[in-house]
Amino acid sequence: MTTPAVEGSLDASGKRFAIVVSRFNSFITERLLLSACDGLIRTGASRQDIDIVRVPGAFEIPSAARTLASTGKYDALICIGCLLRGDTAHYDVIVNEVTRGIGQSAQETGVPHAFGVLTCDTLGQAIDRAGLKMGNKGFEAALAAVEMASLKKAISRQPSAFSKGKADLGLRTSDLGTDHSFARMKKSRTTQRTKRSRRKR
């Protein structure tokens, strides 16, 4: 018998989202942004519940995302950017920092962050992932954000392992208190017996 899995649903109704989008390579990021908004609305989100924040480049995305997540107003964030490899090591440094920063923000704030930052070798690869041959990564990031926001709420409704264990054993807090009282009573009787035996000697 398999244990049923806890899963999120693609239902964005009643949830709030923030999208952090980079202006650098806007030819690509604007396409990703439009598809991300489309994905949220298609899954039930209201336009009034979608906030868009623009930053200069991909490197600034984690900082803005962390600030937004810390407000506690959003159920999930979507991070959108586009990085294209150049002739120097600058690309690798930025990619690593952006990826690490977004992941760290999600872990430390507890707010789901969907990764919609393209990391491509060529402009052609980016175009393919912004609505042509490879679909649209902005739309995919939006669906991931919706599902993770739903999953977070589903997990929070699950009973904790400690509570479930107590329920399975039929234990209550009052039962635990009775056990402690019994232990104190037993210790007191043992002390009285010891004193009596000493007097007889």
Find tokens 């409704």 and name the residue.
157
**Under 8 Å between Cβ of 84 and 120:** yes
Find tokens 């009973």 and name the residue.
159
Active site residue 180: no
Tally of CB atoms within 10 A around 128: 17
Kindly state the tokens that stand for 157.
Answer: 């409704």
Find tokens 């244990």 and name the residue.
3
For residue 141, what are the contacts with CB-CB under 8 A and spacing of at least 6? Answer: 32, 36, 39, 78, 79, 80, 114, 115, 116
Pairing of strands 135-136, 130-132: antiparallel
**Under 8 Å between Cβ of 118 and 126:** yes
Q: Which of 13, 26, 90, 153 is catalytic?
A: 90
**Packing angle, helices 26-42 and 137-156, rounded to 10:** 40
Residue positions counted in the chain: 201
Residues designated catalytic? 90
